[in-house]
A and B are shown apart, each in its own frame.
Chain A
Amino acid sequence: MNGTKGYHPGLVDLDSGEISREIFVNADIYAEEQERVFARAWLHVGHESQIPKPGDYFVSSMGEESVILTRDRTGAIHVFLNSCRHRGMKVCRYDEGSTTVFTCPYHGWSYGTDGRLVGVPYFREAYHAKLDKEKRGLVEVAQLCNYKGSIWANWDKAAPSFQEYLGDFTRYLDLQLDGWDGREAQAELLGGVQKWLVPCNWKFPAENFSGDTYHNISHRSVDLAGIGPSGRSRRDLGERDISRKLHVCIPDRGHQTILYLMPPGEPTPPAYQNAPIVQEYFAHCEAEKRRRRGDYGRFVGAPGEVFPNTALLSRQPRTMAVWHPRGPNQTEVWRWFFVDRDAPSEVKEFLRDYYIRYSGPAGMTEQDDMENWNYAHKASQGVIARRHPYSYEQGMGTAVQDFEWQGLKVPGDVIDITEVQSSEQPMRNLYRRWSEFMAADSWADLATWRRNDRTAAE
């Protein structure tokens, strides 16, 4: 008998490289995750370019909670729980828009874009003007961070700041949000947010985007069809032939990514050869990036994951995704598409076509992934299947700290997969951190790096 009722440490055994299927399919564990992971971790909510003017709003999610990302009359950005303080009805039922107030359609309580309760029907008559409106504003997140235009929020006031939460992973988020030419915070959204449901647990896509290079075989058909920008493979990725391909994990934070580390002095291989304007734009930007970033201009981004559920893909196609949990057996994927704000319109149009080919529910590559996650999840729900853990044994014991190649150090636990092709260090890193969140009672236990810093100082 399995008998698992909820989370316990033996489910994730990183010494043997075995992880129980229960953490993906068990409803009790899923319920615990909402409290222990999603109510305490920093979560991506949206991008400031989605709410450019006062009164603009975008309805997002934090875990299972509906939240409103909005800009008040003074221009300040807020994230509120989308739930009336009177009887809990959603006060905003649109995906996005602009307003002066959020009015609950149930009994009519109304809130300003700064979250204050401003309208209560029969306030004088039924409440005898005694209801304390100051206490009944919309519930606001404990912490909010606008990092280079991307908006992140946290329900836990004891959590570290977002940048402390990122630690040495900041550089990889910068690759996503800075300009291709290395200027800071130049990303803007291209089109709307694509949203769709996948019948699998949210951790399937989270671990896949943590750096699963082993599943490339499932994209073989796309590679053969040649959906890449230059009509070959999936991406133009000449860097692959001259770079070190690394798995980079930040162990005390739970973030991880694939990284291509270019040799110094080597120009970036050409890309977008079928579109001269696009090719010229990116060649110019690559040269500028090397000049501005110095040695770190050698970093070329690839799929990665900010713990717990935000995926980065800073190169081709340049997107971010959030894996919203919608029950143990369902994930709602939201994908944001990025371009450089100042890129020529021809470049934006070209990238739009490429993004559509690649990503989203109709994108040819993302379809492959969904097929895998869907059926892997389904085939792990039975009582017999649950007795047999998954294997995460690739590359165990081979990670090095502070990897260095040709004069550049890469912080974190790193496995050079240039020759070995693959490791499962990123997944182990993800589930190590997930286990810590599931076990820890507070951020005092989760901010392990503070303890290590203190020990080192002593």
Chain B
Amino acid sequence: MAEPINVRDLAPGTRIVLVDGGEAEIVDNPADGVWVFARYLSSPRDPALAGQEEMIFAQDVAAIRE
């Protein structure tokens, strides 16, 4: 199991990979350790999400795209 990511550290502009394989870019971070605001770059689950901003739950963040 991958190490959990501390989403508090994710600055705007950071790209993340989600557990469902989607990708998103952080646009704002309330620094509550639970949520980040991000814009979807892609979503295999729902391609229509691409370009939309949503709140992403910390446990849905799988990796940081280097």
Q: Which residues of A contact B (CB under 8 A)?
A: 99-101, 103, 105, 108, 110, 118-119, 121-122
Contacts and interface: CB of A to CB of B under 8 A. Distances in A.
A92 to B, nearest CB: 10
A103 B30 contact: yes
Given A101-B35, A103-B35, A108-B35, A121 B57 contact: yes
B23 to A, nearest CB: 17
Contact of A108 (B28, B34, B37): B34
Contacts of B57: 108, 119, 121-122
Interface in B10-65: 28, 30, 32, 34-35, 37, 55, 57-59
A108 B28 CA distance: 17
A105 B28 CA distance: 19
Contact of B32 (A101, A118, A121, A122): A101
A103 B34 contact: yes
A121 B59 contact: yes
A63 to B, nearest CB: 28
A118 B34 contact: no
Nearest to A99: B30
26 contacts: A99-B30, A99-B32, A100-B28, A100-B30, A101-B30, A101-B32, A101-B35, A101-B55, A103-B30, A103-B35, A105-B34, A108-B34, A108-B35, A108-B57, A110-B32, A110-B34, A110-B35, A110-B55, A118-B55, A119-B34, A119-B35, A119-B55, A119-B57, A121-B57, A121-B59, A122-B57
Query: 4 nearest interchain CB pairs?
Result: A103-B32, A119-B55, A100-B30, A121-B57
Given A101-B30, A119-B55, A121-B57, 16 more contacts: A99-B30, A99-B32, A100-B28, A100-B30, A101-B35, A101-B55, A108-B34, A108-B35, A108-B57, A108-B58, A110-B32, A118-B55, A119-B34, A119-B57, A121-B59, A122-B57
A322 B51 CA distance: 49
A99 B32 CA distance: 9
Majority SS of interface residues in chain A? Answer: loop
Contacts of A119: 34-35, 55, 57
A121 B57 CA distance: 6
Interface residues of B, number: 10
A416 B58 CA distance: 66
A118 B30 CA distance: 13
Contacts of A121: 57, 59
Contacts of B59: 121
A394 to B, nearest CB: 55
A207 B45 CA distance: 64
A426 to B, nearest CB: 47
B56 to A, nearest CB: 9
| Among A99, A108, A118, residue most surrounded by chain B Cβ atoms (within 10 Å) | A108
A84 to B, nearest CB: 12
B50 to A, nearest CB: 16
Nearest to B58: A108
Contacts of A110: 32, 34-35, 55
B8 to A, nearest CB: 12
Contacts of A118: 55
Contacts of A122: 57
A190 B59 CA distance: 43
Contacts of B28: 100
B61 to A, nearest CB: 12
Nearest to B59: A121
Contacts of A101: 30, 32, 35, 55
A119 B59 CA distance: 13
A108 B58 CA distance: 9
Nearest to A105: B34
Nearest to A122: B57
A118 B57 CA distance: 11
A37 B57 CA distance: 41
Contacts of B30: 99-101, 103
Nearest to B46: A124
A110 B32 CA distance: 10
Nearest to A103: B32
A122 B55 CA distance: 11
A122 B20 CA distance: 12
Contacts of B35: 101, 103, 108, 110, 119
Contacts of B34: 103, 105, 108, 110, 119
Contacts of B32: 99, 101, 103, 110
Contacts of B37: 100
A126 to B, nearest CB: 11
Contacts of A100: 28, 30, 37
A284 to B, nearest CB: 47
A119 B30 CA distance: 12
